Amino acid sequence: MAIQVGIAAYRELSASDQKFALIDARPSDHFQKHHLLSASNIPLEVISERLPTVVPSKVTLILLCDDHDGGATQAVSLLEAGGYQNLALLDGGIPAWQAAGGEVFSGVRVLSQAFGEYVEHKCATPSITTSKP
């Protein structure tokens, strides 16, 4: 049985040193439109097959989120059947996160792009522009 993690508890968890996986169980096109910053998208249809690669330890805390439409709850059932033991649901899903003032991001590879831009700025990385022929 998964526990419910409220928005305040999620913020505390994110700020802590505790290891956990934030998995967005929505379809990829929904994820690309808006998602939590550190979420990994593993759609419900493939979560049983892909999660063992992303989270091989069955005791790691896995926090599942969705559009508060039941997808994360379905994912919990699938993952419990696969032997995962430490499952949690983001209470109210992404809509609750947004209602509480939480920021969402669009696109994919958001963290890697932000890191690259940070390094470029901080290290004054030279850049070139292209010119049209």
Q: List Cβ<8 Å contacts ≥24 apart for 93-102.
A: 93/65, 93/66, 93/67, 93/68, 93/69, 94/24, 94/34, 94/35, 94/36, 94/65, 94/66, 94/67, 94/68, 95/67, 95/68, 96/7, 96/68, 97/7, 97/10, 97/36, 97/65, 100/7, 102/7, 102/36
Confidence of residue 121 (pLDDT cuts 50, 70, 90): low
**pTM across the whole model:** 0.81
Confidence of residue 119 (pLDDT cuts 50, 70, 90): low
pLDDT per position as a tens digit, 59-117: 999 999 999 999 999 999 999 999 999 999 999 999 999 999 999 988 665 454 544 55
pLDDT per position as a tens digit, 6-36: 999 999 999 999 999 999 999 999 999 999 9
